[in-house]
A and B are shown apart, each in its own frame.
Chain A
Amino acid sequence: MNPTRLAPRLTLGACALLASTALASAETLTIATVNNGDMIRMQGYTDDFTAKTGHEVEWVTLEENVLRQRVTTDISTKGGAFDIMTIGMYETPIWGANGWLVPLDDLSAEYDVDDILPAMRDGLSHDGTLYAAPFYGESSMVMYRTDLVEAAGMTMPEAPTWDQIAELARAMTDRENEINGICLRGKAGWGEGGAFITVTANSFGARWFDENWRAQFDQPEWANALNFFVDLMADAGPPGYATNGFNENLSLFQQGKCGMWIDATVAASFVTNPNDSTVADKVGFALAPDTGLGKRSNWLWAWALAIPAGTQKADAAKQFIEWATSKEYIELVASKEGWANVPPGARTSLYENPEYQKVPFAQKTLESIKAADPTNPTVMPVPYVGIQFVAIPEFAGIATEVSQEFSAVYAGQQTVDEALAKAQALTTDAMEAAGY
């Protein structure tokens, strides 16, 4: 046969073989995820993944608390309903230790696992093994009204102390015009007000447990932190703050009713978006405050993608995770929607990118993330990992109850001392029952 005629036939044959192999191994992945801007955006780019790998994707989007319950049920029973789960920094080390997750220790060289921010990697690992890849990460920082600070004749330091924050908040408060100097979370729930008061307490030198897992609410650091918080909010916080969480404070800030707001770094893109925020062009950023003891009151969180050990499609799932958390994905989003819309807080290279450095909140987000150390979260030593949480299975239940006691203080239903005594008692009981 004429070799010039043979070559195209061979090429066609090879293509057909490749196509049939791709089809034979093409999988449909079911992914459980949360409803937030970055995750929804990713769903819109799924076609890019399908075009590259041949795998289809089916999304199950749920509200955060529903998702947590749903995936916990599935993974603990090895139900296999999902091939990839979106989980947080709290679940990852616990589930990794239980053997419920597929280790991500063989990601490809192009993926460049060393590019993941060290704080994120540490928080998503157990015994040095990565169990979930961060899709986006966040810390917390101060967002403040530059015009109100100026009107008060003051300045916001780059790295303020709690005393400076309190002074500024009281100076900006204007009850007649419904301007609250500071808006903070008071809502019950371990991930809501519980997370905020925990990081505040960290900066006052408090800790949840000592080295022997004994509850520490009877120590003066907790009383100092809680009294400071309650006094500050009474003077400069919005009325009814005991029921305010992230969304309530976001709404207040966007409507110009907060002088400052200390919360998740992802909120920066919301408050600076002129479509939603009435104060978009008057927002400045600063690091979360401290008390000079060496720990700032900022947390660390990541929404990450993990593969449950029960899945039959681990290889395809890994391909998806590599695609969704890659540098290429970030570039894809940047090229279509601009750098302000890429998922933040996961990769070092993003913060080295000169284009991304132009985004107003980029640098403070990175500094906040770098200032958070989940393996060494408090002034005094602790036996646990986690900053705004303690990475043990019992924590969610205990912290929800503790935060309810604290919210009752914010609502004026009991005193700080009463709440701390109850928190000490219930935490001690729960830990003893759990065998600590």
Chain B
Amino acid sequence: MARAVTTQRKTINTVAAWVIGLLIFFPILWTILTSFKTEAQAISDPPIFLFFDWTLENYSVVQERSDYMRFLWNSVILAGGSTLLGIIIAVPAAWSMAFVPSRRTKDILLWMLSTKMLPAVGVLYPIYLLFIQFGLLDTQLGLTLVLMLINLPIIVWMLYTYFKEIPGEILEASRMDGAGLREEILYVLTPMALPGIASTVLLNFILAWNEAFWTLNLTAAQAAPLTAFIASYSSPEGLFFAKLSAASTMAIAPILILGWFSQKQLVRGLTFGAVK
């Protein structure tokens, strides 16, 4: 029998959840508020919270100075392309590890994860030289490949965890019914693991969107995404916090909106497992 939860306990839980949620969201809220202040208001001490003369001037300056749409388009292509490519490679890989494991499967999984343990800057020069060699510097293709590769271990691990929850007998039954490997993965496994795949896609899209080492170091004018757009407004010699906040708000707005609309799917995938 389910344990009855008292109203008082519910209230405490709700308040606690709101407080924690607001604490986590506060830096973003502060960035958004600062973007509507003047530079002088942005640095005022004590800080001004809500009662200031709201202005859109920072947005107009940012709009005038930078080609926001080009950065946005690059972010969409890089995050979308790398996630799609990653899923195409990771679904068969995770399938084989989950359903036809070998003696070395666990080692391979750990080895894949170990590539995430090396600081990115450690391989900057080799990757940079390879990019020069293959003419990939400052191209969407090059960046898509790199972002896909750095996120691939996470995609494989997540999908592997979700696939493990699916009973192998179901796949076996489909094989007995005459399904080939392609049909088995596409028409049996994928639909069953859809919530898990969806949350993997969303999480990796967000990771690729926010990636700010490779996207800054391997781009110049053509393939630079929104991370470079933000970096162009940061300055150690001059107080431009309001403009930086406006640029940051514009950079995170698309992903915030995406996260807002897909939060149910994301939470379900991350907390309840993969199986429908």
Contact = CB atoms under 8 A, between A and B. Distances in A.
B40 interface: yes
Contacts of B228: 60, 62
Contact of B65 (A37, A40, A65): A40
Interface in A255-273: 255, 257, 264, 266, 270
B125 A255 contact: no
A266 B220 contact: no
A61 B66 CA distance: 10
A80 B132 CA distance: 8
Contacts of B235: 34-36, 63-64, 247
Contacts of A216: none
A81 interface: yes
Contacts of A69: 217
Chain A interface residue bracket vs B: 35 or more
Contacts of A276: 39-40, 239
Contacts of A270: 238-239
A37 B238 contact: yes
B124 interface: yes
Contacts, number: 98
Interface in B36-61: 38-40, 43-45
Residue among B131, B216, B238 with max Cβ neighbours from chain A (10 Å): B238
Contacts of B137: 79-81
Contact of B232 (A61, A82, A255): A61
Interface residues of B, number: 31
A264 B237 contact: yes
B161 interface: no
B224 A36 contact: no
A343 interface: no
A203 to B, nearest CB: 23
Nearest to A34: B235
A70 B239 contact: no
B124 to A, nearest CB: 6
A11 B131 CA distance: 48
A412 to B, nearest CB: 23
Nearest to B229: A61
Given A30-B221, A59-B221, A66-B216, A73 B236 contact: no
B216 A62 contact: yes
A35 B233 contact: yes
A91 to B, nearest CB: 16
A247 B128 contact: no
Given A59-B221, A66-B231, A246 B43 contact: no
B240 interface: yes
Given A255-B43, A275-B40, A58 B221 contact: yes
A267 to B, nearest CB: 8
A349 interface: no
Contacts of A266: 237
Contacts of A62: 216, 228, 231-232
Contacts of A80: 132, 137
Contacts of B124: 73
Contacts of A36: 235, 237-238
Contacts of B138: 81
A32 interface: yes
Contact of B231 (A43, A63, A78, A191): A63
A77 interface: yes
B236 A247 contact: yes
Contact of B43 (A37, A251, A264): A251
A298 B65 CA distance: 34
Contacts of A30: 220-221
Nearest to A83: B220
A141 to B, nearest CB: 15
Nearest to B45: A255
Contacts of A192: 236
Contacts of A78: 132
Given A58-B220, A64-B237, 7 more contacts: A80-B132, A82-B220, A191-B236, A247-B239, A255-B44, A257-B45, A275-B40
21 contacts: A35-B240, A36-B238, A58-B221, A63-B232, A63-B234, A63-B235, A64-B236, A65-B236, A66-B231, A77-B132, A80-B137, A247-B235, A247-B237, A247-B238, A250-B239, A251-B43, A254-B40, A255-B43, A266-B237, A275-B40, A276-B40
Interface of A: 30, 32, 34-37, 40, 43, 58-66, 69-70, 73-74, 77-82, 191-192, 245-247, 250-251, 254-255, 257, 264, 266, 270, 275-276, 278
- The 10 closest A-B CB pairs, nearest first, are A61-B232, A58-B221, A63-B234, A81-B220, A35-B235, A251-B43, A30-B221, A60-B220, A276-B40, A79-B132
